[in-house]
Amino acid sequence: MFVALAVAGALLVATRPGTVDDDTRPGTVDDDTKTPAAMLDQRGGGARSGDAARGDGDVRGDVTVFDDDVPAVAGLDPDLLEALRSAATDAAADGIVFYVNSGWRSPAYQEQLLREAVAEYGSVEEASRWVATAETSSHVRGDAIDVGHSDVTMWLSERGAEYGLCQIYANEPWHYELRPGARVDGCPAVYVDASRDPRLHE
């Protein structure tokens, strides 16, 4: 299920300056960069199917932030969803569609993703850079969304703070969470990756 993550992880860098760790330097994400399949699976190319509404939060087909019938969308925190829909409405004027590659996930699905990451990377430590446990995952709480495609991540990197939508991890330009204070103060510095997020170690 995972794309060559070692290569993809090496290619990915922050989309804007200001990371929590000093050893990470800002850069750009090439539009053709392939991202880890579990986090940003480019499934938006085909028509939606019955798979789109899987109850565990796995997303298949073209799903947008307006698809209330899809558990991955319906399970999101209402404030996060409202901010996403507001941003998506404005982005539509630029011809940009906010696709959902992952949103709410069931605990069982999150644990499946973690097991697959451990198998792919060979260790829990390396897998934790990309996938949290079900107990700590912001996806399981409905507090995070992975958006696609690159035009959406670029749009949000420039304008997301206006809606309180912030990138959280430098190695995941598709992962956004709601930070209401960002509307006034801007988004906080990003973590290098999920393993550096103190919320995941509480």
38-61 pLDDT, tens digit per residue, is: 333 333 332 333 444 568 999 989
Which of 16, 14, 20, 13 is closest to 195 using CA atoms? 20
Helix spans in 44-106 (H): 71-74, 78-92
What domain range includes position 24? 5-201
For residue 27, the model assigns a pLDDT of: 29
Could you tell me how many helices (H) and strands (E) the chain has, helices first?
7, 4
Give me the CATH number covering residue 155. Answer: 3.30.1380.10
Whether pTM > 0.85 for this model: the answer is no
For residue 202, the model assigns a pLDDT of: 64
For residue 180, the model assigns a pLDDT of: 96
What is the Cα–Cα distance from 116 to 127, expressed in whole angstroms? 9
143-160 pLDDT, tens digit per residue, is: 999 999 999 999 999 999
Residue ranges of the chain with per-residue pLDDT less than 70:
1-54, 202
For residue 200, the model assigns a pLDDT of: 84
Q: What angle do CA 52, 100, 181 make, to 5 degrees?
A: 145
Residue 189 DSSP symbol: P
For residue 196, the model assigns a pLDDT of: 93
Helix (H, G, I), strand (E, B) or coil at 136: coil
Which of 60, 63, 105, 66 is closest to 82 using CA atoms? 66
For residue 201, the model assigns a pLDDT of: 78
* Total structural domains within the chain: 1
